[in-house]
Every structure is written in structure tokens, then in C-alpha cells.
Chains A and B, each alone.
Chain A
Amino acid sequence: MNDSSGIGAFVLHVALLSLIAVGGVNTIVPELHRQVVEVQGALTSQQFADLFAIGQAAPGPNVLFVTLIGWQLAGATGALLTAAALCIPTCTIAYFVTRVWDRFKHARWRIATEAGVVPLTIGFIAASALLIAQAADGSVAAAAITTATAVFSYFSKFNPLWTLAAAAVLGFLGVV
């Protein structure tokens, strides 16, 4: 998928998706997977999970993992275009909303909108978790690592990077 139409469609898709990614980029992971893996067939499910994991492990906003997909599709240009598509439309909206938002602090529509959006965000993040787990957990050992990571990080306050590092070491030792 190194043709320009592939990256063009992907960048447009990212720009549109970022506009409905209320509650962070984790909510659009299933849709990105659907497009890139299931519809375009540009990446395998395993590659998608790899890139997501690299994005989690690298410093900086996790959202930038989407630029890794752009890189796979069209190299450096693809990555830069993806980053622009991800940031520019939503930053513009944030800029204008933040100037008027305080004015409606007690408006019923604002309270209702906030209350109504939260449950959907949670549902979509849970869907992302299922999807990445299905892509990453090809073996019993991998599924056990996912479960252990989830339980450990739920109950402890350690930086999540340590759990990721432990998972990578287990993988290196050939456990997965």
C-alpha cells in the first residue's frame, strides 16, 4: 500500500476520526483497525498491535502511534501528514471552544452533554482493549501477560512503563 491514494484516504480518515475522538484517541483504535486492517488490508492485525505497543512505550503523547501507521503507508511524508491531520482540526476546535466554554458552566445542555459522552467513551475504550488483545494475544502465554498487566496496573501505582518493560523482557526470553 505505498500508492498515494492509500495514504490520502488514510489521512482524510484520520482527520475526520479525530473530530469524533471524544475522550482521547483510544476511542478510535477500533475504527482505525477496521479501516487499515480489515478494509484496506494495508497492515496485518499483528502489525497493528505492534505499532500500538511501540506508541505506548515511546515517550510523548500515545496518540502519535497513529503516525506510525502513516509511516508504514507512505514513509516520512505519510507520518507528517498523519500528525497534521491528527492535530490541526482538533486544535482549532479546542482553541475556539475553550474561549466560550466557561460561559456555559451551569447550562443544562453542557452538563447533559458531558454526562452523556462519558459512558460512550468508556464503551469505546473497552472495545479498543478487546481489539488490541485479540490482535496481540495469539498464544496462551500472551493472553496471560495481558491479564497480568491489567490486574497489576489496576491495583498498583507504578509507572505503566515498568509493566511494559517486564512484558517485553518476557517476550525476549521466548515466553510469548
Chain B
Amino acid sequence: MSESLPATDGAMRPVPALSELFLGFLAVALSGFGGVLPFARREFVERRRWLNERDFAEAMALCQFLPGPNIVNMGVIVGSRFHGAAGAVCAVAGLVIAPLIIMMTCGALYARYGDLEVLRGPLAGLAAGAAGLLVTLAAKMTTPLIKAREPSPLAFALAGFVAVGLLRLPLYWVVLVLAPLSIGWAWWRLR
């Protein structure tokens, strides 16, 4: 941790070694029950001080825009910022390996015992609760759209919901049609 790198606020911040990247993301992965990103902020901004608030917010925005798992993209962004491709690999490995082993254990247990009567109840409760958390996520993301009082983003959100959720159309076709329309509309509005 002897090197330093100027952050966007001009302050010098520690440059984590490859092993620290691995361990930092491992810590985040294992503490992040039910969603990892809030823990990532606490670990990297507050505890380890690799990033300042603005770096983190910009990395977040990019993660949400990039395809694929947000937190894995965060690993690539933060890792490559300090150590290029090697940093990205170490961060993603730290993030994925331990949870993957846990997940595979769960998979094996479910394949073997998933039908047991004693597990039916807890699993059904868990599934109902997980559905509720998804409803919350959608609602929390919709709130700023409603507050902005702009009908067009809401209309595109509704179109996506109807096409995929109610009509069960294949996602590829929905994206192929709706994404150019939605982006084109935003482009036109920016004039």
C-alpha cells in the first residue's frame, strides 16, 4: 500500500495490491446477503478508501448501464482501474469463487432434498418473500420516474412490463424494438 493514485478529488488514495483486491471483493461478496452493492460502497469508500463518493457513484452508473451482473461489472471497473486486466480478474475471482461454492452446495442439497415435505414450507415462504423484494426493487426504481412527472419514460417502462411480463414475448425481440425507440426518444428530447 505504498503507492498512491490521484482520485478525482485530487486527494491521494491508497493503491490496493492484487491480493487486497481479491480479499476486498471476497469480503463484500460474503457480507452481501440479499444484494451486494450497498456493502460494496461501505467497504471501498468508507473502510478501505480506494474510491471517493464520486468515483463510486460514477462506477455505479456505469455498472447499471453495462450488460450483465452489476456487482461483477463493479469488480471489473475497480480492479482494472488499479491493475488493468490482472486487477479485474482478481476482483471478479474474489467476488465469485466463494459464493459459487456455497451456491453449488445449495444446488446439490436442493437437487437431493428439494422435494422433502419438511422443506416445502420454508422454501415456499422464502420464494414468496423473494417475490416481495423484487416488487420493492421495481417500486423503488419507479418512484423517481413518477416524481419527475415526465410521462414518456413511464410509458416505456410500462411497455417493457406489458411486453415481457403480461404478453411473455421473447426478451430479444422486445429489446430490439423498444431500446432504439426509447433511446431515440431520449436523444430527441435532448435537443
Could you tell me which A residues sit within 8 Å of B by CB distance? 16-28, 30-31, 34, 38, 46-47, 49-65, 67-68, 71-72, 75-76, 79-80, 83, 86-87, 89-91, 93-95, 97-99, 101, 108-109, 111-133, 135-138, 142-143, 145-150, 152-154, 159-161, 163-164, 166-176
Contacts and interface: CB of A to CB of B under 8 A. Distances in A.
Contacts of A94: 66, 68, 72-73, 76-77, 88
Nearest to B171: A31
A143 to B, nearest CB: 7
Q: Is the interface of B mostly helix, strand, loop or mixed?
A: helix
A62 B136 CA distance: 16
Contact of B137 (A26, A68, A71, A168): A26
Contact of A149 (B33, B88, B129, B164): B129
A86 B35 contact: no
Interface of B: 29-36, 61-62, 64-73, 75-77, 80-81, 85, 88, 92, 95-96, 98-100, 102-104, 106-108, 110-111, 114, 120-142, 145, 153-166, 168, 170-172, 175, 178-179, 182-187, 189-190
A127 B179 contact: no
27 contacts: A21-B68, A30-B164, A54-B126, A55-B103, A57-B34, A59-B31, A59-B99, A60-B29, A60-B99, A60-B103, A61-B69, A71-B108, A83-B96, A89-B68, A91-B76, A94-B66, A94-B77, A97-B66, A120-B179, A122-B145, A125-B138, A136-B128, A149-B132, A149-B133, A164-B129, A171-B128, A176-B128
